């Protein structure tokens, strides 16, 4: 685990005297940058110090100190620890912070999210609209003084549950039994949603003009939110000229449940099962990321055997995620169901193992702070071995035989440009998409967490950045994951599976932690701020899908509408994680 103090090796204070101060709060690291100098400092961080990948932008509302803070996490694509820099502004509306979209376009969606949920206005942002909350929504839900509709108490556990827990439906406390809160003097008859108007206005502003080559009217098409191929409830408004996409704006939030706020109401432990529901294909990876982050804050070791179990489970999860990716990509390309059902067989076998060890196929809830829930018996280790050694390699080969040379598939994928390395870094893309563009950036190697430094494996990388490479790299990663699991199964020691005593209330010292793992879809990171109480003060998820989707507009403009669904499929988004 990288020591947080290592971020201090970059001497921003000497470079920018008077503009930057060190963050000296206990448990915090990094630099506080003056709001006025943010752009200047950010350019230097990117160009002089080489932190080219801005992974996370988020805000924290320090209500008691009357401050609003924006936290930036920048990393180098060559690997190593990151640089944390932040801006603190007075918490008086309008809260304004300069936008970094000009320097890192990948900050786009995350800044919109910070505006939507925390009400931080990013000046100079090209398209600052709400992103997750719905039209007509009032307020900023992640602010500490905001309360949800069925608000009960600030933090769990709620006092009404015990010792006098007479069950009552929360809506029964509300006279109209609904959760609608209208502002005063609101007349639904006269209400016109602004968001739709704003969406189309922004779509028009960001549309290429007259470059489609065809003299024709531009038309706006809405795909979704119930389009069968957008991987859930994602809506995309596109402007077409003939068949060429001239402008595109994704609309999301249909599955939004404010996971961050739930996480702040929860105790640390209670959030683990909620992380299962982020990227519901990879609950094991999500658990992994969250417990790694909290362990960093708590500064506790992980039991040796549990480390191996964690790696085995996370890699199995990666295998089944990539298998699903291949199957669903084929669905999106029109090969309805035959390949996807073939991969589902292998996935089912992996899920059987998840069920046997954790109790659930998808919502595993298997990791705990300091270890895992229960040990894996030897017969299940044998089953994993059989799968990993005998079955999955053979079936992966069969899938490759089945698909890779197929002329129709090759025709659809080969040479259709997705994104090049330079743009992928600019747009903060991580995961297989970045590696298929030729950047060998894999957190398991670049910033090793857990025990990945003990295994011998290669970072899968391909160089063309077209759809074919993005498709093939998934097979490469499955093979590497199989290698890791084989080694882990050989090396796994006997011993306890948790370094801590089982406790439903953990003590987390005050401070902040940014934990990240290589989830199958990219960098999954959690940013947790603790104030020493049983519940996190700030809990933020940096999901891979959400940040990767920032580039969709850039990827698709100029492409053909027929390719849109496939291009979107390549980003491997999942709405549970995207909308949170």
Partner 1 sequence: MYGKGILKSLKVTWDRFWDTYTEDISWWLRGKKRYNSAEGIAHRSSKDTRGIFTVQYPEEQLLLAEEMRYVPFLVYDEAADGKKEVRCTSCGICAKVCPPQCIWIVRTNDPVTNRPVPVPTDFYIDMDICMNCGFCAEYCPFDAIKMDHDFDIAAYERSVYNLEKLLKPASYYAGIRPENAAREDEARRVKEAAKAAKAEAAATTPAA
Closest CA to 206 of 128, 130, 96: 128
Q: Closer to partner 1 by CB, 44 or 155: give it.
A: 155
Distances (CA, A) of 51 to 89, 155, 400, 522: 24, 37, 37, 18
Query: Which position among 408, 496, 507, 532 is part of the footprint of partner 1 (CB under 8 A)?
Result: 408
Query: Which string of x and - marks every residue 499-538 that binds partner 1 (by CB under 8 A)?
Result: ---x-x----------------------------------
Where helices occur in 334-406 by DSSP H, the ranges are 338-358, 378-386, 392-403
Residues contacting residue 528 through CB under 8 Å, at least 6 positions apart: 293, 294, 297, 512, 513, 515, 536, 538, 539, 540
For position 393 contacting partner 1 by CB under 8 A, the verdict is no
Q: Closer to partner 1 by CB, 18 or 502: give it.
A: 502
- A 10 A CB-CB count for 546 gives 24
* H or E element that contains 264: helix 259-265
Give the dihedral sign, CA 79/81/85/91.
Answer: positive
Q: Which of residues 361-380 bind partner 1 (CB under 8 A)?
A: 363, 365, 373-374
48 preceded by cis ω (within 30°)? no
For position 451 contacting partner 1 by CB under 8 A, the verdict is no
Query: Which position among 379, 405, 453, 456 is part of the footprint of partner 1 (CB under 8 A)?
Result: 405
Question: What span, in angstroms and rounded, lies between the C-alpha atoms of 353 and 28?
Answer: 40
For position 282 contacting partner 1 by CB under 8 A, the verdict is no
- The label of the residue with tokens 């060190």 reads 22
User: Residues in contact with partner 1, total (CB under 8 A)?
Assistant: 53
Query: Which position among 134, 150, 151, 158 is part of the footprint of partner 1 (CB under 8 A)?
Result: 158
For position 178 contacting partner 1 by CB under 8 A, the verdict is no
For position 402 contacting partner 1 by CB under 8 A, the verdict is yes
Cβ atoms of 401 and 541 within 8 Å: the answer is: no
Structure tokens at 439: 């950047």
Q: Identify which range of 198-206, 299-307, 407-415, 443-451 contacts partner 1 by CB under 8 A.
A: 407-415
Question: Across the strands, what pairs with 247?
Answer: 239
Minimum gap (Å) between residue 206 Cβ and partner 1: 39
Minimum gap (Å) between residue 168 Cβ and partner 1: 8
Query: Which position among 101, 207, 358, 430 is part of the footprint of partner 1 (CB under 8 A)?
Result: 358
- A 10 A CB-CB count for 276 gives 22
Greatest pairwise CA separation for the chain in angstroms: 73
Q: Closer to partner 1 by CB, 78 or 382: give it.
A: 382
Q: Closer to partner 1 by CB, 24 or 166: give it.
A: 166
For position 162 contacting partner 1 by CB under 8 A, the verdict is yes
Question: What span, in angstroms and rounded, lies between the C-alpha atoms of 250 and 235?
Answer: 6
The three-class DSSP label of residue 450 is: coil
For position 360 contacting partner 1 by CB under 8 A, the verdict is yes
Question: What span, in angstroms and rounded, lies between the C-alpha atoms of 55 and 388?
Answer: 33
Minimum gap (Å) between residue 468 Cβ and partner 1: 13
In whole angstroms, what separates CA 260 from the centre of its chain?
12
Query: Which position among 357, 574, 575, 578 is part of the footprint of partner 1 (CB under 8 A)?
Result: 357
Q: Which of residues 235-274 bind partner 1 (CB under 8 A)?
A: 266-267, 269-274
For position 154 contacting partner 1 by CB under 8 A, the verdict is no
On the CB side of 486, how many CA atoms lie within 13 Å of its CA? 16
For position 386 contacting partner 1 by CB under 8 A, the verdict is yes
Distances (CA, A) of 67 to 61, 154, 316, 397: 7, 20, 43, 56
Q: Closer to partner 1 by CB, 290 or 514: give it.
A: 290
For position 15 contacting partner 1 by CB under 8 A, the verdict is no
Q: Closer to partner 1 by CB, 164 or 456: give it.
A: 164
Query: Which position among 248, 403, 437, 513 is part of the footprint of partner 1 (CB under 8 A)?
Result: 403
Going by the DSSP 8-state scheme, the letter that residue 391 receives in this structure is I
Positions in the binding site for partner 1 (CB under 8 A)? 156-158, 160-167, 266-267, 269-274, 338, 342, 345, 348-349, 352, 355-360, 363, 365, 373-374, 383, 386-387, 390-391, 398, 401-410, 502, 504
């Amino acid at each position: 685990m990288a020591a947080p103090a290592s971020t201090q090796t970059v001497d921003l204070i000497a470079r920018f005297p008077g503009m930057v101060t060190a963050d000296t709060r206990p448990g915090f690291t990094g630099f506080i940058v003056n709001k006025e100098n943010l752009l200047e400092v950010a350019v230097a961080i990117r160009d002089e110090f080489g932190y080219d990948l801005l992974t996370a932008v988020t805000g924290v509302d320090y209500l008691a100190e009357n401050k609003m803070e924006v936290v930036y996490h920048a990393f180098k694509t060559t690997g190593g620890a990151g640089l944390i820099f932040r801006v603190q502004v007075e918490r008086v509306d309008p809260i304004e912070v300069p936008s970094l979209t000009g320097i890192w376009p990948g900050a786009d969606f995350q800044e919109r999210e910070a505006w939507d949920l925390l009400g931080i206005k990013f000046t100079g942002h090209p398209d600052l609209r709400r992103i997750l909350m719905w039209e007509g929504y009032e307020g900023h839900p992640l602010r500490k003084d905001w309360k949800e509709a069925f608000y009960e108490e600030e933090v769990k556990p709620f006092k009404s549950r015990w010792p006098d827990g007479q069950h009552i439906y929360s809506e029964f406390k509300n006279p109209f039994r609904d959760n609608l809160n209208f502002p005063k003097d609101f007349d639904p008859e006269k209400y016109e949603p602004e968001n739709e108007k704003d969406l189309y206005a922004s779509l028009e502003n960001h549309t290429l003009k007259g470059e489609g080559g065809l003299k024709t009217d531009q038309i706006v098409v809405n795909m979704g939110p119930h389009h069968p191929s957008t991987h859930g409830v994602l809506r995309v408004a596109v402007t077409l000229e003939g068949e060429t996409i001239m402008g595109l704006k994704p609309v999301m939030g249909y599955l939004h449940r404010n996971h961050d706020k739930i996480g702040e109401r929860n105790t640390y432990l209670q959030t683990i099962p909620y992380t299962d529901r982020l990227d519901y294909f990879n609950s094991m990876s999500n658990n992994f990321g969250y417990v790694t982050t909290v362990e960093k804050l708590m500064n506790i070791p992980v039991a040796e055997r549990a480390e191996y179990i964690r790696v085995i489970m996370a890699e199995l999860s990666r295998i089944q995620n990539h298998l699903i990716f291949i199957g669903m990509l084929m669905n999106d390309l029109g090969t309805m169901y035959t390949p996807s059902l073939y991969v589902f067989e292998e996935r089912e076998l992996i899920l059987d193992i998840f069920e046997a060890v954790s109790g659930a196929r998808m919502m595993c809830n298997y990791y705990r702070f300091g270890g895992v829930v229960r040990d894996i018996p030897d017969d299940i280790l044998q089953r994993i071995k059989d799968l990993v050694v005998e079955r999955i390699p053979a079936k992966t080969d069969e899938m490759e035989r089945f698909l890779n040379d197929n002329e129709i598939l090759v025709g659809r994928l080969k040479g259709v440009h997705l994104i090049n390395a330079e743009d992928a870094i600019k747009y903060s893309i991580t995961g297989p998409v970045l590696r298929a563009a030729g950047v060998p950036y894999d957190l398991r190697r670049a910033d090793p967490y857990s025990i990945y430094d003990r295994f011998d494996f290669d970072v899968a990388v391909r160089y063309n950045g077209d759809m074919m490479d993005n498709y093939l790299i998934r097979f490469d990663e499955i093979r590497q994951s199989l290698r890791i699991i084989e080694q882990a199964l050989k090396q796994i020691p006997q011993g306890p599976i948790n370094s801590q005593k089982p406790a439903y209330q953990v003590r987390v010292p005050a401070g902040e932690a940014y934990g990240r793992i290589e989830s199958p879809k990219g960098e999954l990171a959690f940013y947790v701020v603790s104030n020493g109480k049983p519940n996190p003060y700030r809990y933020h998820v940096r999901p891979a899908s959400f940040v990767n989707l920032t580039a969709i507009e850039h990827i698709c403009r100029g492409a053909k509408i027929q390719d849109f669904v496939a291009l979107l499929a390549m980003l491997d988004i999942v709405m549970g994680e995207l909308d949170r």
